[in-house]
Chains A and B, each alone.
Chain A
């Protein structure tokens, strides 16, 4: 029986392991690997070596050669590296060095692999028992110490040279770099330390220097858009570079360096470049260039001087300039003699167009970025509140809407109407005195509604809806109330008519009488006129009053004779006409009915006495009847103005081919009452102060001011105005000055 033979160390090593495995291996590596041979050692050969090692490691002591084998494993590798590999590398430089290194590294991996396989048994027990590095790791470490550390400086320089060359548009062997990168990664032994410290840091430094130089060239030779185009190309190239042959972790750092040099440090110069900077691009509608500028500077972190904020500031300045130009042009027109009326549709349209344009720019070129939206808004707030001439921009905007919503105003299709209204509401949102706009709009709406000049109820509601969306229902309450009054007017009228029919004592005589009830508070205040009415009308009012009192016991009705229409049947000779007139006109006409068969001539004073109208109304009425297109009254003397000394009579010679005639009358210019706005503001400020103090109990002066300003949505009062209101409230003992804290107030319950 054969007992296993003890293998002596040298014998086993030299005869078996070295000769049959290591030498073979080294030889194969030195002469170049045969590509046709997939495995360097076939299984039989391998097993033999493995077994030898195994045996040598499992022999009983003192023949257990684990320690020695482990040592010799290391020594073999070190030997090979220092005697063969390193000298070969040292001979080369530049790309040749890289190429050689690639080969040598590849070889080492193979060597390491096989050495591990041969001595694998050591890994199982010996290594673990003695807490030593595994064979694989040990081999790697040897490579790092003996080869890598010696050549890394030259290697990295060569790599960077290649990269720089590629930046300058040369074609390089990317695989070469990639392989070297892979080596660097491996040298980290689980971390990227080697890659970062030995290569990446230097790469970043050289990149920085490269682009510092390049960007300087570009800045000197190119205008801003051209520079940015080059910059964009460079950044994309760098990103691609990382993807192709660098470690992914380098990408953010590399790009940051590039962005810093190319964009961040040059930003101010580029933005402000004469003729091609941000404002020039805006002025010339260079959309693509603007978009690129936005994209690129968006990559730079935002600070007040870098990134997007300075660009937004320039955008704001530009829009402000454009807006102020529009206002300046209006101012010039006015000073050159243009009529300073409450309408300037061309001006409003210009503002709307400006807004449209830059809304699009912000959304398309600047990706809807919040900074730019803010810039647009702030710019508009700056000039939209710049009023020139007698009429505020608020009024001009309101009149613009009036034109659109009025029948006989601007002729527009439904979509256009909505578009204009929507845009006007957007523009409106920049006004500080929104309450002024509301007051004016309300007055104009009332006029439209009462004179039946509103083109479309739907359009009115649409506009009010938009205002409501933006400002809340409190803002539009009165406007909606007005529309509702009219909407339910029809039902009320039907109700009234059935009331009249129900009882013969309730008669409106020969008159077709209809009443529109207006809720006070929603409508502007109209002058109440105590006219002397013809008995027929008086009768009707009595009947209606009875009807209304029955329905609503707690309400009081006041008749507004300055509003309302009448249809008067007039006989001139044989011809009969239907005169469509205002109620006041009707009253005056009826006083000219013949008395006892005789026609009357009345002086102004007599007319005034009979109808009891104030001069401002009476003059208008008589003018419309005697001096207008349809002279139903004859005035003595004939002239175009009504004087207090004139006399009037029915114009017997009156004739007209039409039967139904509308006799218009100049309406009193009932423009909005600025006092009303002031009063409302006083109330609003005081209410806000009390509300805030009630909630907070004690507050400093500055804080109270700030709170009040933030609560007032529709106008922006001067701090002094607020202070005045605070004093008034102190006087009325709603609050007191805090006796213990200076500059503070306390709520008095």
Chain B
């Protein structure tokens, strides 16, 4: 089955050939340690499997220009997940675990899931949160300032819109939800240590059937919940009677309380 574009950012073993029309292209992520942890010495592997690209694209060098045309899919006129994976490769980061890539797309103001338009790409020069602001539009500049994009620097009020973006960007096309497994992989990545509920919540989500869908309200509310409600099993700040949290989160609390009762 064709993996969703959201899964492109997550670890997937097999490369899939590009189809059209679609945003379904998934890249085999190069095996790299996550960039947050190490700076990998990037060596161009001549034999590494690359996605078949569109013809007549100039060969890009690492440290080369951040050119839209270099990374965009000529047929679709946008940078797709493919291009992003290529950029990741050029930056020497692991797209399946480096949220700074998502932060980059967020700063560029990506509106459609899984792709960047030319206008959006142009904001590398315009958005002061990006390392390329006021500097040369090159991959090496981007790479040099890459850590500045770390979402950990954001305070909670700035983080909220980023967190929401993570949901929006990883949807499939016009769908308004994430599949269960996508959410299971994406959530911990995005929320990092801002939530003390993550582990239990993932366990809870795991009990849901495979076709369970997580909607935006539930995703965003998870963050709000994490910031407002205390740790299990007390969950101080959550009131059974007056809770206006999405029902999913009420069920989550009940799940935890039941679980802790058993033990």
Contacts and interface: CB of A to CB of B under 8 A. Distances in A.
B242 A743 contact: yes
Contact of A737 (B217, B228, B242): B217
A723 B244 contact: yes
A702 B241 CA distance: 10
Contacts of B247: 720, 723-724, 727
B175 to A, nearest CB: 12
Interface residues on B, range: 10 to 19
Interface in A699-723: 701-702, 720, 723
B167 to A, nearest CB: 13
B117 interface: no
B176 interface: yes
Q: Chain B: interface secondary structure? A: helix
Q: By CB atoms of chain A within 10 A, which of B220, B221, B224, B247 has the most? A: B247
A731 B242 contact: no
A720 B244 CA distance: 10
B176 A731 contact: yes
A702 B247 CA distance: 15
Contacts of B242: 701-702, 743
Interface string A227-248: 0000000000000000000000
A701 B247 CA distance: 13
B64 interface: no
Interface residues on A, range: 10 to 19
A103 interface: no
B217 A730 contact: yes
Nearest to B217: A730
A446 B235 CA distance: 54
Nearest to A739: B160
A737 B221 contact: yes
A442 B221 CA distance: 43
Interface string B209-252: 00000011100110010001000000000000010101100000
Given A737-B217, A737-B221, A727 B246 contact: yes
Contact of B216 (A731, A743, A744): A731
Contacts of A170: none
Contacts of B220: 737
A742 interface: yes
A634 to B, nearest CB: 55
B211 to A, nearest CB: 17
Contacts of B221: 737
A701 B216 CA distance: 19
A724 B216 CA distance: 15
Interface in B133-183: 176
Contact of B217 (A701, A731, A743): A731
Contacts of A720: 247
Interface string A351-390: 0000000000000000000000000000000000000000
Contact of B228 (A723, A730, A742): A742
A702 to B, nearest CB: 6
Contacts of B176: 731
Interface string A691-703: 0000000000110
Nearest to B242: A702
A743 B215 contact: no
Nearest to A701: B244
A748 to B, nearest CB: 13
A742 B176 CA distance: 24
Nearest to A726: B244
B130 to A, nearest CB: 25
Contacts of A743: 242, 244
Nearest to A732: B176
Q: By CB atoms of chain A within 10 A, which of B215, B216, B221, B246 has the most? A: B246
A248 B185 CA distance: 88
Interface string B173-202: 000100000000000000000000000000
Contacts of A742: 228
Contacts of A701: 242, 244
Nearest to B241: A719
A727 B246 CA distance: 7
B228 A731 contact: no
A724 B245 CA distance: 10
A701 B239 CA distance: 13
A742 B220 CA distance: 13
A745 to B, nearest CB: 8
Contacts of B244: 701-702, 723, 737, 743-744
A6 B231 CA distance: 113
Contacts of A731: 176, 215-217
Contacts of A744: 244
A727 B217 CA distance: 8
Nearest to B248: A727
Interface string A296-317: 0000000000000000000000
Contacts of A724: 247
A727 B213 CA distance: 14
Nearest to A724: B247
A731 B177 CA distance: 10
A407 to B, nearest CB: 50
Nearest to A730: B217
A723 B242 CA distance: 11
Contacts of A737: 217, 220-221, 224, 244
Nearest to B239: A743
23 contacts: A701-B242, A701-B244, A702-B242, A702-B244, A720-B247, A723-B244, A723-B247, A724-B247, A727-B217, A727-B246, A730-B217, A731-B176, A731-B215, A731-B216, A731-B217, A737-B217, A737-B220, A737-B221, A737-B224, A737-B244, A742-B228, A743-B242, A743-B244
Given A702-B244, A727-B246, A743-B244, 20 more contacts: A701-B242, A702-B242, A720-B247, A723-B244, A723-B247, A724-B247, A727-B217, A730-B217, A731-B176, A731-B215, A731-B216, A731-B217, A737-B217, A737-B220, A737-B221, A737-B224, A737-B244, A742-B228, A743-B242, A744-B244
Interface of B: 176, 215-217, 220-221, 224, 228, 242, 244, 246-247
Which 6 pairs from chain A and chain B are nearest by CB? A701-B244, A743-B244, A730-B217, A731-B215, A727-B246, A723-B247
